[in-house]
């Protein structure tokens, strides 16, 4: 009698399980390597940054995705541990150093840095995008919107915009919004004077508006006194406006500064927030770490930044100096841009930043 026997599948099943496990190990290893490479690139080479506000228009605009190079100034080693999909790990902070870079931050660089006015670990503070207008050791002033560095007038960046006052000739009161848009201008604003209006535009666009036959003149719209009483500009009590800034030296490591109740508003955050010393004033004398003193030696370099949309930017005019250790990197390239209103890409925005 024939014996009916079921086929032996145990060996093939074991082989299949081993093959599946081997494949899973390969994919797990590949995923871990990919994550390690991505984290390493983000920490030490470059990171993407999406532009949320118009403060740098028209250099970059909301919806632009830019690449921030950490190699230019040297990457910072991590200051905190941050878990994926979670916040920083409490009480795990590390001393940070900056690794060597290609160059130092320079005037005209578009940079991303951590906001100096916030508290907590530096690398967890909000990233801001601005342009450096003055470096350590420079003397900066602003007169009627014109920026001066070391006594020399600095040209408005080609892609930067500001408000201009347009004076009309004859009886015409306005340039049509369609015509302004066709010339490349931004928002137009009415004024209290008949026959004039203000418009946001780059310097080149302002020149085109001035060439219109119905326009008599175009000149910068200057804020002689801050329009909002609640707005305080740096330093407190200085009387500065966004368009008129008294001369100030940008602190440089090794600078010896004179301290008194009058000069302290300029240097208080520098000494206490950024360099870690306790500052008090008693009987008209400044005390640092409890010791009365009239001089202080600056420990690190600082920078002064402005937004390219000069009349719509929260920048160093409001909070003061940006410490060197807050610098994340140099913005070098727009690699993608999305128009949320049109729900479409803006390929004309792609390219290097200027």
In tens, the pLDDT along 146-190 reads 999 999 999 999 999 999 999 998 777 788 888 999 999 988 888
Phi, psi of 186 (to 5 degrees): -100, -140
Compute the residue count for the chain. Answer: 354
The answer to whether the beta carbons of residues 200 and 163 sit under 8 Å apart is: yes
What is residue 193's predicted lDDT score, i.e. its pLDDT? 77
Domains, the chain, in order of start with CATH, read 31-138+302-354 (2.10.109.10), 139-249 (3.30.70.80), 254-299 (no CATH)
Phi, psi of 130 (to 5 degrees): -145, 180
175-213 b/e (C-beta count within 10 Å ≥ 16 → b): beeeebeebebbebeeeeeeebbbbbbbbebbebbeebe
Q: Which of 97, 63, 64, 66 is nearest to 79 (CA)?
A: 97
Which tens digits make up the pLDDT trace of 271-283?
999 999 999 999 9
Q: How far apart are CA 206 and CA 223, in angstroms?
A: 18
What is residue 16's predicted lDDT score, i.e. its pLDDT? 53
Cα–Cα distances (Å) from 137 to 102, 298, 324, 327, in that order, read: 21, 11, 13, 17
The whole-model pTM stands at: 0.86
What is residue 108's predicted lDDT score, i.e. its pLDDT? 96
What is residue 41's predicted lDDT score, i.e. its pLDDT? 56
Cα–Cα distances (Å) from 295 to 70, 105, 286, in that order, read: 35, 27, 9
Q: How far apart are CA 339 and CA 113, in angstroms?
A: 25
SS (H, E, C) 321-352: CEEHHHEEEEEEEEEEEEECCCCEECHHHCEE
């Amino acid at each position: 009698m024939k014996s009916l026997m079921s086929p032996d599948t145990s060996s093939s099943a074991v082989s299949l399980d081993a093959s599946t496990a081997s494949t899973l190990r390969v994919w797990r290893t590949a995923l871990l390597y990919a994550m390690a490479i991505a984290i390493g690139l983000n920490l030490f080479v470059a990171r993407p940054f999406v532009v949320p506000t118009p403060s740098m228009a028209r250099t970059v605009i909301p919806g632009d995705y830019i690449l921030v190079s950490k190699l230019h100034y040297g990457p910072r080693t991590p200051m905190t541990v941050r878990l994926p999909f979670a916040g920083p790990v409490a009480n795990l902070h590390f001393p940070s150093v900056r690794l060597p870079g290609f160059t130092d931050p320079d005037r005209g660089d578009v940079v991303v840095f951590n906001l100096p006015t916030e508290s907590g670990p530096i690398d967890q503070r909000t990233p801001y995008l601005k342009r450096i207008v003055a470096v350590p050791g420079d003397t900066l002033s602003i007169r009627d919107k014109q920026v001066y560095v070391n006594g020399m007038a600095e040209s408005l960046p080609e892609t930067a915009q500001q408000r201009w006052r347009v004076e009309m000739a004859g009886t015409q009161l306005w340039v049509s919004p369609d015509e302004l848009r066709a010339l490349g201008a931004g928002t137009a604003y009415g004024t209290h004077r008949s026959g004039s209006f203000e418009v946001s535009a780059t310097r080149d666009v302002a020149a085109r508006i001035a060439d219109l036959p119905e326009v008599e003149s175009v000149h910068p719209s200057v804020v002689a006194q801050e329009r909002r009483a609640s707005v305080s500009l740096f330093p407190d009590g200085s009387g500065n406006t966004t368009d008129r800034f008294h001369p100030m030296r940008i602190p440089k490591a090794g600078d010896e500064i004179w301290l008194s109740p009058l000069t302290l508003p300029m240097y208080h955050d520098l000494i206490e927030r950024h360099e870690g010393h306790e500052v008090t004033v008693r009987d008209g004398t400044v005390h640092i770490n409890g010791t009365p003193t009239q001089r202080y030696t600056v420990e690190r370099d600082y920078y002064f930044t402005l937004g390219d949309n000069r009349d719509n930017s929260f920048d160093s005019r409001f909070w003061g100096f940006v410490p060197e250790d807050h610098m994340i990197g140099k913005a070098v390239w727009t690699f993608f841009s999305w128009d949320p209103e049109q729900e479409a890409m803006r390929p004309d925005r792609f390219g290097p930043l200027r």
